[in-house]
Amino acid sequence: MKITDVKIEKFSAPLSEPFRVAFGVIEDSDSWTVKITTDEGIYGLGSAAPIGFVTGETMETCYLVMKMFAEAFIGFDPMDIAGAHKLMDSIIYSNGSAKCAFDIALYDIMGKKKNLPVYKLLGGTDPVVHNDITIGIDTPEKMQAAAKRFVFEKGFRILKIKIGINPEDDLRALTLIREAVGEDIRLRVDANQGYNVETALEVLPTFEKLHIDAVEQCLPWWDFDGAAELMQKNTTSVKLMLDESIHTPYDAQRASKLHCADYYNIKLMKCGGLYTGAQIADIAQETGVKCMVGCMQENKISITAGVSLVAAKQAIVEADCDSFMFFKGDDDGIAGGFDRKGGIFTLLDKPGLGIDMDI
Ligand code: MG
């Protein structure tokens, strides 16, 4: 099989409201869709959702890189995913979102060729994934109201709460949320690099009292020594997770060697897709670390890929693949991939991603 055509198109869907995290505000949800067609008539879809302050790519730079890949991929064997990554890495360093789009499209093609859904292609057997929903930073009262809406109106059982601007407000918001949702709802929090070692150690005992499962990325992304120190000094039951520190499998290797975290947050846009995401999960598995799959402002194409990775890998025990539910109207309008009831996602038993979309 050979690749005969690559088409790239912008995907825009407005967010229901801007989303605030400790290091910035996300206002739009633009991404690039890629459609890769082969000489056998099979096509694959992929998606790139760059965020400048995480992946170092803007929509514009991502497009330029994808155009370079598109040219290089004509005539390439789409079943050779390792070779595809070698090719992309030989063209440009980093640029995870652009690489991710092509990676996902190739897995979609491979699934269709082998008549298997992507999660089975990656070794999974159970199509059901329990996903969380995220509450952005706002006043503690508004965050509490959001928590109530997600739990009591929309049926979510796991909440991820953005914190990290001001520890006092963080603790107040978390206390209000725990009071409102009761003890049966699982809570995890994400500081998005907003703390230092001392602040984190100060708030962790209160997190434990509030039965917070885990806290994500307390420290700046580059501070692996600090993360290791925090791991050593954390005497609470609250698990420590790294997100912005873990882009590639090499980051996971380094973090595992230094014992920097209990969990890694794998994002396909950071690491370059399913091939490299699976490598991070394998490193975690070997070194006794668990994983979550998270997301950027992604639509259902890459979200389906992310959920498929969760279903496929034993080390991946948590899912934070919720971005498509923040588009206006609670959905991005893309049909297929998986069915959803509250936070319970069931992957479709269709070849590839199970998404038909013409671009
Ligand atoms: Mg995070």
pLDDT in tens, 94-114: 999 999 999 999 999 999 999
Query: Do residues 236 and 207 make contact, with C-beta atoms less than 8 angstroms apart?
Result: yes
Catalytic annotation, residues: 162, 267
Q: Whose structure tokens read 């859904």? A: 117
Query: What does the pLDDT average to over 69-88?
Result: 98
Condensed to tens digits (0 to 9), the pLDDT of residues 262-287 reads 999 999 999 999 999 999 999 999 99
Of 291, 287, 344, 283, nearest to 316 by C-alpha is: 291
Contacts of 13 (CB under 8 A, 6+ apart): 29, 299, 327, 328, 332, 333
Burial of 72 (0-12, 13-18, 19+ CB in 10 A): middle
- 305 has pLDDT over 80: yes
Condensed to tens digits (0 to 9), the pLDDT of residues 189-226 reads 999 999 999 999 999 999 999 999 999 999 999 999 99
pLDDT value of position 21: 79
Rounded Cα distance between 270 and 94, Å, is 9
Q: pLDDT exceeding 90 applies to what percent of the chain?
A: 92
CA dihedral 301, 55, 217, 275 (to 10 degrees): 50
Condensed to tens digits (0 to 9), the pLDDT of residues 228-272 reads 999 999 999 999 999 999 999 999 999 999 999 999 999 999 999
Q: Whose structure tokens read 């668990």? A: 290
User: Where residue 66 falls among pLDDT bands split at 50, 70, 90?
Assistant: very high
CA of 337 to the centre of ligand 1 (A): 24
pTM of the model: 0.97
Buried b (16+ CB within 10 A) or exposed e, 196-228: ebebbbebbebbeebebbbbbbbbebebbebbb
pLDDT value of position 288: 98
Q: Which amino acid makes up residue 238?
A: V
Which residues on neighbouring strands pair with residue 111, listed in sequence order? none
Which element (helix H / strand E) includes 35?
strand 31-38
pLDDT value of position 16: 84
Tokens linked to 170: 């963080």
pLDDT value of position 358: 84
CA of 64 to the centre of ligand 1 (A): 27
Q: How many CB atoms lie within 10 A of CB 88?
A: 22
Quote the DSSP letter at residue 323: G
Quote the DSSP letter at residue 15: B
Quote the DSSP letter at residue 246: -
Tokens linked to 187: 């809570």
CA of 216 to the centre of ligand 1 (A): 6
Which residues on neighbouring strands pair with residue 44, listed in sequence order? 36
- 316 has pLDDT over 80: yes
Handedness of CA 257, 263, 268, 274 (dihedral sign): positive
CA of 170 to the centre of ligand 1 (A): 16
Tokens linked to 36: 């890769």
User: Where residue 124 falls among pLDDT bands split at 50, 70, 90?
Assistant: very high
pLDDT value of position 112: 98
312 or 357: which carries more pLDDT confidence? Answer: 312
Rounded Cα distance between 281 and 166, Å, is 32
Handedness of CA 253, 214, 193, 17 (dihedral sign): positive
CA of 338 to the centre of ligand 1 (A): 23
Main-chain phi, psi angles of 321, to 5 degrees? -110, 70
pLDDT value of position 313: 98
- 27 has pLDDT over 80: no
Tokens linked to 202: 């100060």
Query: Do residues 281 and 261 make contact, with C-beta atoms less than 8 angstroms apart?
Result: no
Q: Is 333 left (phi over 0), alpha (psi -120 to 50) or beta?
A: left
Of 1, 13, 3, nearest to 325 by C-alpha is: 13
Of 110, 101, 125, 176, nearest to 146 by C-alpha is: 176
CA of 217 to the centre of ligand 1 (A): 6
CA of 251 to the centre of ligand 1 (A): 15
